[in-house]
Amino acid sequence: YRRQEITGLTMYQYEETRFFAASSWDRKISVWVDDSEDSGTVDPILQIAGNNDDILSIAFTYPKALLTGASDGNINMFDIESGARRLSMACTKPPSTGDTPRQTGSAAAELSNTQYVEKVLFLEQRNKTIVSVGGDGHIRFWEGVWMETVPSSCSAAMHLSRMTVIVPSGHWPEFGLVEADVDESNNLLVTCDEGGFVKVWDISSYDWQAPKTAQVKPLHFWRAHLLTISTVNLIPPPPEVPERPILILTASADKRVLLWTVDGVLIGQFGQSSQWDVDNRATWVASVSADILLDVQMGLMNAMNEAKESMYDSEDEDRDILLELDDRLRKKPSSSVQFKVSPMKQLPPELPSRKGKKGRDYEVDLLTGERVYKNAPLKKSAVGEERLRPPMSPYLKHFAKKLDPDNVVGGGTAPDGGAREVRVGTPNAKQ
């Protein structure tokens, strides 16, 4: 047997023999017989392999089923006699990070988003329902063929197992769940996370025949340690003192072992200077509960209400803005509004007036198509103040020659042989 760090330990009895089973980082389960006559180094009688990743937790149920939870998100069940794997249940496989939840230096934020199965438990009083918790902060309930009364949804011909309920633990999001335990009557469930917080659940109404999320109810929630909790145990009352309530024992990486009541009152620390008595409240370290469940729930409710109010306020503001814009677009300008316009004293010389053709300061010659400006200076000629027609284009000359072969309009010679003076009238010519 090669020495490896122990990750899980359980004791069980089969027929009249007691056994110890331990898991380690070599991904194997080693089984020893509990014999008081053995001393020194004792070799295991059986080693079970079959897990593909590091084993983080083991649990046993009668007659011979051994359960393991691994860091790859798988829950495997083995036969303790033969070592054969009977079935496997898988959570969503997390991305490979190379770290295990309890490895020194692992960041809590990195572990809280993974599917590490940190703890597996059997609810013996709930038809051997399996409970698992892990790094994603959820509590899962499983049913299958290992139950004393096999559910109708699970059979050899159909599914060997299935997850029935998944419950968000409500621990802080940055901390994954690392430990859990149940009492003997399976009425209380306690979960612990990497931040040192402890939460107690009421599962007395959990019905394995018709499981629902609402059947798992939180009772108390407080911070027991400043570092991750390595183990937790629910301690039942001794037979000689049946009226004593159930107590909670926690051990943490801060090197402290504490004893609590179920509702979060600190009784004492093991190894402290002053002695304390479980049955004497006057000797307890604390007199009031450290429970913050109501505060957390009220804080969540207030945050949700504020978020809803802010959402409604933003919707109202958006609606008001849209209505105002719509009113502005639909509203006609008032007649009392005075528009001040700077008048343009003079238009550019070649720019027509904005009023259209009525304000033009030129006229178009119908024959030549050229513009004749009203205010343009008159050309000096023998005709006097009248303007001469601009020179005709070759086309017009040819056309005029056909219409006037005697060149009467063009200004030919007079009958007496002298030059004929021809005046061309224009709309602006002075008579």
DSSP labels, 349-400: TTPPPTT-GGG-SEEE-TTT--EEETTSPPPPBTTBSSPPPPPPPHHHHHHH
- Spatial CB neighbours of 10, under 8 Å, sequence gap ≥ 6: 20, 21, 22, 58, 59, 60
Average pLDDT rounded to a whole number, residues 187-194: 96
Average pLDDT rounded to a whole number, residues 260-287: 93
Q: Return the pLDDT at 7.
A: 85
Q: Return the pLDDT at 393.
A: 58
Average pLDDT rounded to a whole number, residues 31-60: 83
Q: Return the pLDDT at 366.
A: 61
Q: Return the pLDDT at 370.
A: 72
Of the candidate ranges 78-87, 272-281, 299-308, 410-419, the one whose mean pLDDT is the lowest: 410-419
Q: Return the pLDDT at 69.
A: 92
Q: Return the pLDDT at 103.
A: 40
Average pLDDT rounded to a whole number, residues 56-73: 90
Average pLDDT rounded to a whole number, residues 355-372: 62
What is the overall mean pLDDT for the chain?
77
In terms of pLDDT, which residue wins out, 77 or 1? 77
pLDDT above 50 (res 221): yes
Q: Return the pLDDT at 224.
A: 94
Average pLDDT rounded to a whole number, residues 301-318: 65
Backbone dihedral angles phi then psi of residue 384, each to the nearest 5 degrees:
100, -135
Please give the Cα distance from 97 to 74 (Å, whole number). 16
Of the candidate ranges 59-68, 373-382, 419-428, the one whose mean pLDDT is the lowest: 419-428
Please give the Cα distance from 221 to 264 (Å, whole number). 7
pLDDT above 80 (res 2): no
- Count of Cβ atoms closer than 10 Å to residue 93 Cβ: 12
pLDDT above 80 (res 64): yes
Of the candidate ranges 94-98, 359-363, 380-384, the one whose mean pLDDT is the lowest: 94-98
- Spatial CB neighbours of 111, under 8 Å, sequence gap ≥ 6: 99, 101, 135, 176, 194
Tokens of residue 180, six digits: 């859990």
Q: 5 falls in which pLDDT band (50, 70, 90)?
A: confident
Q: 225 falls in which pLDDT band (50, 70, 90)?
A: very high
Residues of the chain above pLDDT 90, percent: 35
Average pLDDT rounded to a whole number, residues 300-324: 67
In terms of pLDDT, which residue wins out, 279 or 366? 279
Please give the Cα distance from 373 to 362 (Å, whole number). 4
Q: Return the pLDDT at 425.
A: 43
Whether the CB-CB separation of 114 and 191 falls below 8 Å is answered with no
Tokens of residue 283, six digits: 């000797």
Q: 394 falls in which pLDDT band (50, 70, 90)?
A: low
Whether the CB-CB separation of 113 and 101 falls below 8 Å is answered with no
pLDDT above 50 (res 180): yes
Assign residue 301 a region (left: φ > 0; alpha: ψ between -120 and 50; beta: otherwise). alpha
pLDDT above 60 (res 209): yes
Q: 102 falls in which pLDDT band (50, 70, 90)?
A: very low
For the chain, first and last CA: distance in Å? 137
Tokens of residue 228, six digits: 């991750």
